[in-house]
Chain A
Amino acid sequence: MKRPWLVGAGLTSVLVLTIGAAVAVGSTATAWADVYQVLAHRLFGLGPAPDPIVDRIVWRLRLPRAVLACVMGGGLSIIGVAMQTLVRNPLAEPYILGISSGASAGASLFYLGFLPPLLSKTLTMPLAAFAGGLASITIVYLVARDGVRVSVARLLLAGVAMSALMASITSFVTFSSPEPDKLRAVLFWLLGSLSGARWGLLPIPAVTTALGLGAMLVLARPLDALLVGEEPAQGLGMPVETLKRGLIVLATLVTGTLVAVSGAIGFVGLIVPHAVRLLVGVPHRRLVPLSFVGGAIFLCWADLAARTALPGQELPVGILTALCGVPFFLALLRQRAYQFG
């Protein structure tokens, strides 16, 4: 099935319904009618003012969380696409390659006061996460590079190793800090959670994700060529080395700002692009926007499950994405089409 407009329209309507569900469902049941009343009033000034308690739940708690889930899921998915194109293998993903845990380590070092606040706190945190992610992926990439080629097997192994190292750093600094709730903080950074969502946290990740989305749409054709191979892309007049470096920086920037607000949520960028490729094919001009929408849907539902699976408490959403993602990763590994070269 390769009818991109139909799939796009379908996915977009599913996303609208998903956001509605994410706002309506939770520990306090909210009627859909009340949800629409709050949204109509808040967004368009229509209708009577809603009940202040309902308004608080819908507008202050659940909607920013649903929007963050969309930004996070969409952003991680398109960065998954970027990394897969960079190494020309569908097994690459920011979490698997160690960017996410590197960003977590950077963010937690800053959060616990080990790094100086260079700018305002809201800006330094993503910056620290970016630096951590960049350090991690640079090491992974240098280890995996074999002359001019990148060995995928080495890339994955180096990614796993750096992930473990960065997770240890995060855990170590957290446990050695005066943070009152150490276990909770470690879980937040390593497994990811959207529980901290507030409107005020959204602008930075939303802007960098939009930037990433825009850049990847503009670069859709060069990215297609890169997928065929570095030599063919060069032959088509693409500045391949610049493109590759740009992709790494872009991926790290977006991942860093996302991790800074939600911790490291894994495997979204692995599952979503693969599913979208099956629906609309490989070309980036379709894959990138639809992966964004698909990722938003996926993470909204994962977060909804994380909030409601256990009565009276919340799971870090990364547990659920890993539960879906790891079997998926293993299945991909078994597929003969994706050889290690």
Chain B
Amino acid sequence: MLALRDITVQIGDATLIESVTAKVHSGQLTAVVGPNGAGKTTLLRVATGELAPSAGTVEMGDRPLEALPEREQARRRAVLPQQSQLHFAFSVLQVVLMGRTPHLRGAESARDWEVAHAALQAVAMDDFAERDFPTLSGGEQQRVHLARALAQIWTPPDAGHRYLLLDEPTASLDLAHQHQVLQTAAGLAADGVGVLAILHDLNLAAQYADHVVMLRRGMAHAKGPPRDVFTPAGVEDVFGCPVRVIAHPTQPCPLIVPDATAPASPPAVPTA
């Protein structure tokens, strides 16, 4: 379990996160949702150890995160950040192979190359292996970065569990690829990986997440299974948008549709 306990993040006078507790259980997909500026990415940066919280603790397994060396963390936990720009002409395969770096002793082995190829296959990008990364479209680049993260945690570690942290993995993807990415993530969860995903699309969260954390102004407004979190009152409270929640026609999950007859009023974002 990757556990964030009572996390508070203050930068200057602004409180970005206030006493949030969230747990990423192995074998589950946990989604973090909330309006812009609610603190989703900040929470993820705390979970990766990139940002030290002002108060609260992060634990991986039963040890505090800071007690684990960075390389050891990286063998068990992969992160897909929001898109970063790469102008240098690495090949797609070279980018994916980088995911193996925390596991290397010296140079890449034949096994590392196999994993890189398999990870590319998992995101349906194996035909692009030799292409120059900067020539790909935004969505294709995003999938290659996902393959890099997959390659990083491809095999179970000697001890402990694996974690995958995704920051808006479906941004810039078309409909089919949004579902493909979340199916891949759900598949990893079924394999025992603890997955944390920041999602903008509530219906993707409803369909794929086992557990949802809904943030509002840096605080956890609601936590639980999608069915409990995505209530019309809860969603309107947090997003300022009146919605109807109906049964999904084919899936055992709620379907959230904006109620066009009432006006939407997005919540004010606290300014930093």
Q: Which residues of A contact B (CB under 8 A)?
A: 88-90, 221-222, 224-225, 227-232, 234-239, 277, 281-283, 337-339, 341
Residues B87 and A225 in contact, CB atoms below 8 Å apart: no
- Residues of B contacting A232 with CB < 8 Å? 79, 81, 84, 98, 145, 148
- Smallest CB separation, A116 vs chain B (Å): 42
| CB proximity of A276 to chain B, nearest CB, Å | 12
In this assembly, does B99 line the interface, its C-beta being within 8 Å of a C-beta of chain A? Answer: yes
B61 CB to nearest chain A CB (Å): 16
Contact B101 A337 (CB under 8 A): no
Q: Are A337 and B87 in contact (CB under 8 A)?
A: yes
Within 8 A of A (CB), among B4-47: none
Q: Is B102 an interface residue (CB 8 A)?
A: yes
Q: Which residues of chain B in 87-113 are interfacial with respect to chain A, using CB atoms and an 8 Å cutoff?
A: 87-91, 94-95, 98-99, 101-102, 104
Q: Give which listed residue, A236, A277, A339, contacts B99 with CB less than 8 A.
A: A236
> Given that A234-B50, A237-B73 are known contacts, is A277 also in contact with B89, CB under 8 Å in the complex?
yes
Nearest A-chain residue to B165, judged by Cβ: A235
The reply to whether B90 and A239 form a contact with Cβ atoms under 8 Å apart is no
A228 and B91 contact, CB distance less than 8 A: no
Taking CB atoms, residues of chain B closer than 8 Å to A235 are: 48, 74, 78-81, 149, 152
A-B contact pairs, 19 of them (CB 8 A): A89-B87, A221-B98, A221-B101, A222-B101, A225-B101, A227-B86, A227-B88, A227-B90, A232-B79, A232-B145, A235-B48, A235-B74, A235-B79, A236-B98, A237-B69, A337-B134, A338-B87, A339-B85, A341-B85
The prevalent SS among residues of A at the interface is loop
B201 within 8 A of A: no
B75, CB-defined interface residue at 8 Å: yes
In the bound complex, do residue B95 and residue A228 qualify as a contact, i.e. CB atoms below 8 Å apart? yes
Task: Choose among B84, B89, B102 the residue that contacts A237 (Cβ–Cβ < 8 A).
Answer: B102
- Chain B residues with CB under 8 A of A88: 85-88
Flag if A239 contacts B70 (CB, 8 Å).
Answer: yes
* Interface pair B90/A283, CB less than 8 Å apart: yes
Interface string of B49-92 (1 = CB under 8 A from A): 01000000000000000000111111100111100111111110
B78 & A237 in contact (Cβ 8 Å cutoff): no
Docked Cα-Cα span, A89 to B87, in Å, equals 7
Chain B: minimal CB distance from A275 (Å):
13
Sample of 7 more A-B contacts, CB < 8 Å, known A227-B90, A234-B79, A238-B101: A224-B94, A232-B145, A235-B80, A235-B152, A281-B89, A282-B89, A282-B94
Give the complex CA separation of A235 and B76 in angstroms: 11
Q: Which of A90, A236, A337, A341 has the most CB of B within 10 A?
A: A236
How far is it, in angstroms, between the C-alpha of A227 and the C-alpha of B89 when the chains are bound? 10
Chain B residue with the shortest CB-CB distance to A239: B70
Chain A residue with minimal CB distance to B50?
Answer: A234
Give Cα distance in the complex from A228 to B80, angstroms: 12
A238 contact set on B, CB distance < 8 A: 70, 101
Nearest Cβ distance between residue A218 and chain B, in whole angstroms?
11
Taking a contact as CB atoms under 8 Å apart, the answer to whether B90 and A229 are in contact is no
Residue of B nearest to A278 (CB): B89
Q: Are A339 and B87 in contact (CB under 8 A)?
A: yes
Nearest 4 pairs between A and B by C-beta? A237-B74, A229-B84, A235-B79, A231-B81
Closest to A235 in B: B79
Determine whether the beta carbon of A236 is less than 8 Å from that of B87.
no
CB neighbours (8 Å) of B78 from chain A are 235
